[in-house]
Structure 1
Amino acid sequence: MTKEHCMLKAKILQEEGKTQREIAEALGVTDRTVRNYLKRNDRTGKKRAYSSKLDPFKAFIDTILEEEPLFNREILLERLRKQGYTGGISILRDYAAAVTRRITKAAVVRFETEPGRQAQVDWKEFGKRVIDGKETKLYAFVMVLGYSRKPFVRFTTSMNQATLLACHVLAFLWFGGVPFEILYDNMRAAFAPDADGRWQPTKRLLALAAHYGFSPKRCRIRRPETKGKVERAIGYLGDNFWPRMEGRGLSLDELNAEVGAWIDAVSEKPIADLGESRSERFRREKSALKPVPAADFDVRDTIPLHVGLEGVVRYEGNRYTVPAEFIGEMASLLVHPLHREVELRLPGGKSRRFTLAPKGSHARIEFPGDGAEQLRRWRNDRDRVARRRRPRGRPAASDIAVTTGRAAAYDELSRALGEPEGIPA
């Protein structure tokens, strides 16, 4: 029997209630050897436990990092200071790094959301492409319903916030309903850090969510598997749909029509892991979605514009006339991110709608009635200025009264004033 076996056997006999002498007799060793075995066994695997100034605050730190693994450590230190923490930032950084590693490496169990519960959103970047006859950056907005895997795709030339919100509106109309929550990754157009470094939905995304009744959620950073459904849809879009478009000269409208037809086709194919098609599952999911409000959310950007002396506003290198009464005033141009139809709001509640000219074409767009009204105002202003500049007339000689007197009278006045007599030379 090896020494290790003897040690383990001695431990077992001790737990059975045997004395050291009885154990020694059973193992055929001395009492001293048994005593050494048992002492060594007691020390095995035991380490001295050191207390840390951070211990009372670890539960709070864990709660913060579970929600935001990369939460700013200096801000976290400030919060701990308010709770009475007196330690340094080094021990905090070490502990936070260990917690972050544990969180980011934790296994994610695949789960199925119930119908209508969740949708996932992300962008696919295609780089520079020739669209509508000119080279531009091309993107695809993708929203996928969690239960049915039914996708919505919209090709755009921008990923700004207004475009993101407009694509949401189109997706809800496409699905005919709104999910209870939508999951996003680290996109700045949807979430931004607050003063404490915690990521919060942007004001406009919250306004959109309030209008349609969904809850915006942000997936954990560096955890793409938490939104794997939209990631797989994006991969399928790039591998299956886009190769069919390569080398074709397309407009943005044609591209969106093509991808719509592609979605209809792939929705009829069975999903390997589920044994059902997207269309079959979507028929069950659609009834669980929230209804779409009658009025669309206004996603337009508001651009302030000054009405110049020429009676025009300038936008994208073009000029648009306005009524002459608004010269010198401020106006607001409401621009939709997905089309060229705009609304110009003028003081006093007046407005006009029109289509923007091509960007950078240096065109002057004159609306009916503006030219004649501006001409009348110009003539009135000219006449008013001319009247102000007209020189005043000189008085006629007959209107000037001259009084004459005796020279002696001036001498008397001079003596009264103490001045020399006579007319000054």
Structure 2
Amino acid sequence: MLRLQGLQAEGKGWREIARETGHSKNTVKKYLRDGHPVEAKRRPQRRTKLEPFIQQIEQWMSEGLFNCVAMKQRLEKMGYTGGVTQIKAFVHPHRPPRQVQAKRRYETKPGQQAQIDWGFCEEQDENGRTHKVAVFVMVLGYSRSIYVEFTRRCDIHSFLRCFIHALEHFSGVPKFGLTDHVKTVVIGRNDDGTPKWHPLFEDFVLTVGLTPKLCRVRVPQTKGKIERGVGFVKDNFWPGRRFTGMADLNRQALTWCQHRM
């Protein structure tokens, strides 16, 4: 009320006062002329497109999923029609702090290198007991295309089976395959210091025409793409994942990989 009088005292007319206060011209005129009180306008709060899915997002965050792009892809299947910006704005205050050190990026030419490694995810059975699930991951050095396959075991036979499936998925064989010092690849050192390859792995790479290479010991940066790839599976694909068995899980993983090629 006093504000309207103050604006009038400043020499402003009814139209200008109406524009500044949001009231209609007739309302302003009536108050200033007759002294009737004017109630402030209350704008109704808009219901955002994200609001119906807040509970689901909070559940994903409690399970460790904070990747907003992954959330958007899942929410779209549930009927969400908004953008990723709304999701980021909601998730950001809840995101755990992350310290990242700058590293020199090592690039390779197309078809030159693939990086391969095992990772482990955890699942709970119906009794609440936790079990580890092995995951084979291959990342192409140039395109960053990824192949993922889950297994109950990570022995040499599972490793080679996943390796073949990965080459089939990429429809080709890279020149080099960079791996960690795992027993499915190397079983020791020869007298001259060269790697002593696992015989089944050595036969395999000779057959497909791939040259194996080992990353430097205790220097994970030499295989940074696969380190990030395994982490990406754990942070993006795995949290909140529901599946009926290993076959169903790998069907979902393959669809996830194809979506990123």
TM bin (shorter chain): 0.5 to 0.7
When residues 177 and 237 of structure 1 are mapped into structure 2, their CA distance, relative to the original with a 3 A threshold, is: same
Could you list the structure 1 runs, at least 4 aligned residues long, displaced by more than 4 angstroms after superposition.
none
Q: Does 1:171 align with 2:166?
A: yes
1:382-412 per-residue CA deviation (whole Å, 9 max, x = no partner) reads xxxxxxxxxxxxxxxxxxxxxxxxxxxxxxx
Q: Which runs of 5+ in 2 are unaligned?
A: 1-101
Q: 2-side partners of 1:249 and 1:130: how far apart? A: 11
Partner of 1:251: 245
Q: 2-side partners of 1:161 and 1:170: how far apart? A: 14
Contact 1:130 1:249 in 2 (8 A): no
Contact 1:137 1:158 in 2 (8 A): no
When residues 145 and 195 of structure 1 are mapped into structure 2, their CA distance, relative to the original with a 3 A threshold, is: closer
**Structure 1 counterpart of 2:246, which letter?**
L
Shift of 1:122: 0.5
Q: Which runs of 5+ in 1 are unaligned?
A: 1-106, 268-278, 280-425
1:206-229 per-residue CA deviation (whole Å, 9 max, x = no partner) reads 100111000010011011011100
Partner of 2:188: 193
Shift of 1:128: 5.5
Contact 2:121 2:238 in 1 (8 A): no
Q: 1-side partners of 2:103 and 2:236: how far apart? A: 27
Q: Does 1:219 align with 2:215?
A: yes
Shift of 1:241: 0.8
**Pick aligned residue for 1:120 from 115, 118, 121:** 115
Partner of 2:106: 111
Shift of 1:250: 2.2
Shift of 1:259: 1.1
Q: 1-side partners of 2:112 and 2:190: how far apart? A: 31
**Structure 2 counterpart of 1:221, which letter?**
V
Q: Is the radius of gyration larger for structure 1 or structure 2?
A: 1
Partner of 1:229: 225
**Structure 1 counterpart of 2:169, which letter?**
W
Please, what is the CA RMSD of the aligned residues?
2.3
**Pick aligned residue for 2:157 from 149, 156, 162:** 162
Contact 1:120 1:227 in 2 (8 A): yes
1:47-77 per-residue CA deviation (whole Å, 9 max, x = no partner) reads xxxxxxxxxxxxxxxxxxxxxxxxxxxxxxx
Q: Does 1:264 align with 2:258?
A: yes
When residues 150 and 186 of structure 1 are mapped into structure 2, their CA distance, relative to the original with a 3 A threshold, is: same
Contact 2:243 2:249 in 1 (8 A): no
The percentage of counterpart residues that share the same residue type is 37
- Secondary structure of 2:224's partner? helix
1:151-207 per-residue CA deviation (whole Å, 9 max, x = no partner) reads 000000001011111111111111111101100011111012135365322111110
Q: Does 1:153 align with 2:142?
A: no
Superposition map of 1:8-23 within 5 A: none
Q: What is the TM-score of this pair, normalised by structure 2?
A: 0.56
Q: 2-side partners of 1:199 and 1:189: how far apart? A: 13
Contact 1:144 1:150 in 2 (8 A): yes
When residues 149 and 118 of structure 1 are mapped into structure 2, their CA distance, relative to the original with a 3 A threshold, is: same
Q: 2-side partners of 1:239 and 1:251: how far apart? A: 20
Q: Does 1:183 align with 2:178?
A: yes
- Secondary structure of 1:225's partner? helix
When residues 244 and 135 of structure 1 are mapped into structure 2, their CA distance, relative to the original with a 3 A threshold, is: closer
Contact 1:129 1:138 in 2 (8 A): no
When residues 218 and 135 of structure 1 are mapped into structure 2, their CA distance, relative to the original with a 3 A threshold, is: same
Say which is worse superposed, 165-174 or 136-145, in terms of deviation.
136-145
Shift of 1:129: 4.4
Structure with the larger RCO, 1 or 2 (CA within 8 Å, 6+ apart): 2
- Secondary structure of 1:126's partner? strand
Aligned residues: 157
**Structure 2 counterpart of 1:229, which letter?**
K
When residues 195 and 113 of structure 1 are mapped into structure 2, their CA distance, relative to the original with a 3 A threshold, is: closer
- Secondary structure of 2:212's partner? strand
When residues 204 and 109 of structure 1 are mapped into structure 2, their CA distance, relative to the original with a 3 A threshold, is: same
Contact 1:125 1:139 in 2 (8 A): yes
**Structure 2 counterpart of 1:206, which letter?**
E
Q: What is the TM-score of this pair, normalised by structure 1?
A: 0.35
**Structure 2 counterpart of 1:230, which letter?**
I
- Secondary structure of 1:142's partner? strand
- Secondary structure of 1:244's partner? coil
